[in-house]
């Protein structure tokens, strides 16, 4: 495996720590050049470390524990604005922006050789994501320097359901990948299970919301409110037309006032809860009668 962890584990850890699918794929496109997905890579004469060759006093990110190091390296990447640096509408955009704004290596600016290579790498990583086939192994040993570590040809192992189209909102595909990806160690296993539970929880919440909306339609006085709203719209339009003719004489003004007032009453009913005993037009008329006498039972 790449530095002791699978390439799929790196993707899932990026997602678990808050990266979007586009950001994760763009960052991974840069990892191909930086470390060959090797968590233990050390380059630039011992001054750059890990998956993205974090440059500086970051030796603590490479300890010989690939699983724990991967988590720390991605946490550091996130804390230093790495996710935001990988902005873009596509993985290719994200790869180029991450190269220019975060890696800032020679040739990493737009149009440079490194920038072009990393944008091209995004197509490779997207291919992994689309097919669900992630390479089990990446570059072994230490990287010589940022931008020089290469990922040699490796056999691809099926770790998800094949044929799924690339779609950040493809919940079934994400659940399948979280269930079937080869996760190493307790941290990644917990991350995979957490991802599944979050996806299932979201589906359950959407289902409950739909059920509540359906239940709302089975309450009789809710249909009265719907009818009151529709009636208010129908009455309000001719009322406004009559008011617009008020200066022309005739009955336009009183008729307009009457219709607009009636529409206002219907809208009041439509946008307030009705008592449970109001289940038909007769009950509604009784409520209106009580309201005229000063005893409204309608609640906000």
- Summarised one tens digit per residue, pLDDT across range 67-77 is 999 999 999 99
- What value does the mean pLDDT take over residues 229-246? 84
Give the separation between CA 294 and CA 290, rounded to whole angstroms: 6
Q: What is the pLDDT of residues 174-197, one digit of tens each?
A: 443 444 343 333 333 444 565 566
pLDDT range class, residue 3, cuts 50, 70, 90: low
* Residues 183 and 226 grouped into a single domain: no
- Ramachandran quadrant class, 87 (left: phi over 0; alpha: psi -120 to 50; beta: rest): beta
CA distances to 78, 191, 258, 261, 299 from 294, in Å: 62, 61, 20, 17, 14
Q: Give the domain extent around 134.
A: 7-209
Domains: count for the chain? 2
Are 184 and 253 contained in the same domain? no
Question: In this prediction, what percent of the chain has a pLDDT beyond 90?
Answer: 41
Mean pLDDT of 90-117: 95
Q: Give the chain's mean pLDDT.
A: 75
- 112 vs 94: CA distance, rounded Å: 15
Q: Are residues 205 and 223 in the same domain?
A: no
Tell whether 41 and 76 lie within a shared domain.
yes
224 and 148 within one domain: no
How far apart CA 133 and CA 281 sit, in angstroms, is 63
> Pick from 209, 233, 250: which residue ends a domain?
209
83 plus 199 within the same structural domain: yes
Nearest in space to 33 (alpha carbons), one of 140, 155, 120, 118:
118
Q: Are residues 137 and 273 in the same domain?
A: no
The answer on 51 and 160 residing in a single domain is yes
d(CA 229, CA 43): 70
With tokens 């995979």, the residue in question is 192
């Amino acid at each position: 495996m790449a530095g002791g962890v699978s390439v799929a584990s790196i993707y899932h850890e990026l997602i678990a720590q808050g990266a979007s699918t586009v950001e994760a794929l763009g960052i991974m496109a840069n990892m191909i050049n930086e470390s060959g997905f090797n968590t233990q890579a050390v380059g630039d004469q011992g001054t750059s470390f890990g998956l993205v060759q974090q440059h500086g006093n970051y030796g603590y990110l490479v300890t010989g524990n690939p699983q724990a190091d991967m988590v720390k390296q991605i946490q550091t990447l996130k804390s230093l604005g790495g996710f935001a640096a990988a902005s873009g509408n596509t993985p290719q955009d994200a790869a180029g922006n991450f190269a220019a704004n975060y890696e800032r290596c020679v040739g990493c600016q737009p149009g440079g050789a490194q920038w072009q290579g990393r944008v091209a790498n995004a197509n490779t990583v997207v291919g992994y994501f689309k097919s669900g086939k992630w390479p089990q192994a990446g570059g072994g040993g230490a990287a010589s320097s940022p931008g020089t570590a290469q990922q040699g040809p490796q056999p691809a192992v099926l770790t998800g359901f094949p044929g799924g189209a690339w779609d950040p909102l493809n919940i079934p595909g994400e659940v399948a990948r979280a269930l079937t990806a080869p996760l190493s160690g307790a941290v990644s296993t917990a991350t995979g299970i957490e991802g599944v539970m979050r996806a299932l929880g979201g589906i359950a919440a959407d289902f409950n919301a739909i059920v509540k909306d359906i239940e709302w339609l089975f309450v009789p006085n809710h249909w009265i409110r719907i009818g009151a709203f529709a009636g208010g719209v129908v009455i309000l339009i001719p009322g406004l037309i009559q008011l617009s003719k008020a200066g022309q004489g005739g009955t336009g003004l009183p008729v307009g006032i009457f219709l607009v007032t009636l529409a206002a009453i219907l809208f009041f009913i439509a946008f307030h809860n009705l008592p449970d005993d109001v289940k038909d037009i007769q009950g509604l008329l009784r409520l209106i009668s009580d309201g005229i006498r000063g005893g409204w039972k309608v609640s906000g």
